[in-house]
Amino acid sequence: MTELSARKSTIVRPRNRERAVRTAFAALEHAAPTVAARWAERLWFTVPSTGTARPPDGGTPFELPWRGRDLRGWTWGSGPPVYLVHGWGGYAGQLAGFVGPLAAAGFTVVAFDAPSHGASGPGRSGPRSSDIVEFAQSLDAVAAEYGPAQAVIGHSMGALVAVLAMRHGWLGARRLVMIAPMVDVRDALPVFAGRLGLGPHTLRRLADRVERRVGMSLDEFDIATHASALEETALLAIHDHNDRETPYATTEALVTGWPEAEILTTHGLGHRRILRDPAVVHTVVHTVTADAARRLPQTA
């Protein structure tokens, strides 16, 4: 009986907390939507608990001082750099399946944990807090250290981070690989609002607060708006048709409007297991290797 009660409490208490939060936001929606938006903003920028899974063996760790904080990551192999970019609440080790094959194919594989993620230090707003602009700027800082990219492989929000770094920083790449990408961050707002029970007054104020904090319009966080500016970067998008976290339809539409793009559709792999699928890894490595071979100078 004691064990059963203990297990039951771990299920009920989170549900009770969620119900209490939704009740509080419902009350604040009418009484004090500005207060509600301030609270929602703090939750929006809170990084979920991230894993600290050990990266593949054989990597060389690095610690990059950046704006008074430390970015930590690893490199493997030698050759043109390929950057691995995890998503929100993720960590470099989630893309470990790509490391060995890419290093064996003749690339330097560079992976790091974003601010307030994994092994890296806290972001500018403290532990467990960061934002997409800071994430993109940290990727640009790592790229400045290791050089222009042969390819960037981004998972989930990491795909949008890569695009922002390419548009607003020094990062350039011949090939962009997006796996289960978050194409438009605005798609996440109504999902976030639904989970917390935010009303329209609170949600409108939250959007304004998010824009003020990051210093950019939410319109900028739509990969499709940057497609024409990245027309020299080929795109391979890989997305599971039934992904429950990022909508497949937005990736399908993105590929249609990208100058040089193709999509690989999977079934039954979901949002994270897709990163470990051997066929997905093989396709990515083959594509990046083929790009590099096409750029080699012809010999007499």
**Dihedral (C-alpha) 118, 124, 125, 130: value to the nearest 10 degrees?**
-50
102 near 285, Cβ under 8 Å? yes
Whose tokens are 């590099």? That residue is 292
51 near 93, Cβ under 8 Å? yes
- Can you give the pTM of this predicted structure? 0.90
Q: At residue 3, does pLDDT exceed 60?
A: no
* Domains of the chain with bracketed CATH: 59-184+217-294 (3.40.50.1820)
H or E stretch at 205: helix 200-214
Please give the pLDDT value at position 51.
Answer: 62
Question: What is the biggest distance separating any 2 CA atoms in the chain, rounded to whole angstroms?
Answer: 80
Alpha-carbon dihedral sign for residues 152, 103, 243, 241 = positive
- Hey, how many other C-beta atoms are within 10 angstroms of the C-beta on 286? 12
Q: pLDDT, tens digit, for every residue of 152-168?
A: 999 999 999 999 999 98
CA dist 164 and 169 (Å) reads 8
H or E stretch at 283: helix 278-294
At residue 10 the predicted structure's pLDDT band, cuts being 50, 70 and 90, is very low
Q: pLDDT, tens digit, for every residue of 216-269?
A: 999 999 999 999 899 889 999 999 999 999 999 999 999 999 989 999 999 999
